[in-house]
Amino acid sequence: MPELDTLIQGFRRFRQQHFIERPEIYQQLVAQGQSPKALVIACSDSRVDPALITDATPGDIFVVRNVANVVPPFVDDGKTHGTSAAIEFSVKHLQVPHIIVMGHSKCGGIRALMEGSHSNRTHGFIDPWMSAMKPARDIVKQESADADLDSQCQQCERAAVGVSLENLMGFPFVREAVEAGRLILNGWYFDFEQGELFERQVDGAYKPLSE
Ligand SMILES: [Zn+2]
């Protein structure tokens, strides 16, 4: 398993740092339980690990990752909704003070959404999943109809963060916590071509966080 060798070596370094050199980190997390600063909803993309990007330590962030960091609309139908379950657990039980939806550059899920019927490829699970972000695609197709696909994808990656933030407010317990001032919703965008992290403003513009 040569592919996994570096990962296993990485675990040995992690173990040395976190269980031998600084055992108090996990001892405290075991004794007191977790109290993360934020729920981060990020893409599964291997280049956008929120713990790496934020240099987080264990216990700092509660993370759910899915294709294209999508928050689906609130649907209470008794079926299996993984992302919604993570939102519920972190807000109702862990009472996180922040939720961060983190989009990113070169997102394959957003590209599949933007290609849509223009692509010969069919995505059995991805297409229905990404349909939750159609409002973002529609905005970009309307406002930037003449732009090339790369540019449209980049705009959609950013617009989709806004749609996910709107969908979050459709969860009654999220809305209640936001309105009570216990919870803040944040939109971030990680551009790994520029090495920059951006924060979404109320007007939909993005401001760099590197300074
Ligand atoms: Zn992605």
Number of domains in the chain: 2
In a shared domain, residues 87 and 29: no
In a shared domain, residues 68 and 143: yes
In a shared domain, residues 56 and 18: no
Binding residue per annotation — 104? yes
Query: What pLDDT is stored for residue 124 in this prediction?
Result: 84
Ligand 1 centre to CA of 38 (Å) is 20
Ligand 1 centre to CA of 1 (Å) is 27
Ligand 1 centre to CA of 47 (Å) is 9
The predicted model gives 189-204 an average pLDDT of 97
Ligand 1 centre to CA of 201 (Å) is 21
Q: Give me the domain span that covers residue 3.
A: 1-33
Strands (E) across the chain are located at 38-43, 61-66, 98-104, 184-191, 196-200, 206-208
In a shared domain, residues 92 and 191: yes
In a shared domain, residues 75 and 3: no
Residue 61: pLDDT over 90: yes
Quick: pLDDT tens for 115-124. 985 556 666 8
How far apart (Å, rounded) are the C-alpha atoms in residues 117 and 28?
Answer: 52
Ligand 1 centre to CA of 66 (Å) is 8
In a shared domain, residues 70 and 81: yes
Quick: pLDDT tens for 143-185. 999 999 999 999 999 999 999 999 999 999 999 999 999 999 9
In a shared domain, residues 13 and 49: no
Binding residue per annotation — 127? no
Q: Which residue has the tokens 């990680």?
A: 190
